[in-house]
Amino acid sequence: MNWHQTIFELIDMRSFSNLWFWIVLAVMWSTASHWVLGVPFDMVARARKTGGQIEQDLEDLVRINVNRFLYIARLSGLWLLGMVCFVLTTLVLLGWVYDIEFAQAVFLLAFPMSLVGALNLSTARLIERDELSGEGLRRRLTRHRTYTQAIGMLSIFVTAMWGMYQNLAIGALGS
């Protein structure tokens, strides 16, 4: 047995039956819902509770990240959009036209995260436009987190349904 057969035996390329895929999915959405525009959400809750310096730190961190997101979007947003669309289209074609399960799994991870990325950009623009601070900023960040969690729940549901279908379909073919 050569080295690549050993690696593929160790790492099951059938993604939906692989425990690591589901761990990555859970960690990805847990992280995405905890970090709102690059700010840990517990900081938003602490700022709401105590105010003062923590609130000022929150506003400063949000301002830095909003400026960073918007700078990148203005500088190379169209190129990034084109590359993301190319990669997602390639994954769809490989996954569903050529029936490559690994591409399906990567698409089911990447597409919802691209929606979260668009949501990040939209929220950053709203914060900059409305010059939010204090309670308005905390409300906007909480709303952003809620939308991210909704996208995550829908993504996990769709991925679980598709994964179960794939495992049952492959199991039925194997018998």
Mean pLDDT of 7-29: 80
DSSP letter at 13 equals S
Structure tokens at 63: 């301002």
124, with CB counted inside 10 A (0-12, 13-18, 19+), is: buried
Each residue's pLDDT tens digit, 99-132: 999 999 999 999 999 999 999 999 999 999 999 9
Which conformational region is residue 132 in: left (phi greater than 0), alpha (psi within -120 to 50 degrees), or beta?
Answer: beta
The count of C-alpha atoms lying within 13 angstroms of the C-alpha of 87, restricted to the half-sphere facing its C-beta, is 14
- Please tell me the predicted confidence (pLDDT) of residue 167: 85
> By C-alpha distance, which of 113, 127, 135 is closest to 66?
127
* C-alpha distance from residue 2 to each of 10, 12, 102 (Å): 13, 16, 22
Each residue's pLDDT tens digit, 27-77: 999 999 999 999 999 999 999 999 899 999 999 999 999 999 999 999 999
- Helix (H) or strand (E) holding 39, with range, is strand 39-40
- Model pTM? 0.87
Give the pLDDT band of residue 173 (cuts 50, 70, 90): low
Q: Say how many C-beta atoms besides its own lie within 10 A of residue 82's C-beta.
A: 11
Cα–Cα distance measured from residue 95 to residue 16, given in angstroms and rounded to the nearest whole number: 13
Asked if 162 and 104 touch (Cβ cutoff 8 Å), the reply is yes
Q: Say how many C-beta atoms besides its own lie within 10 A of residue 42's C-beta.
A: 9
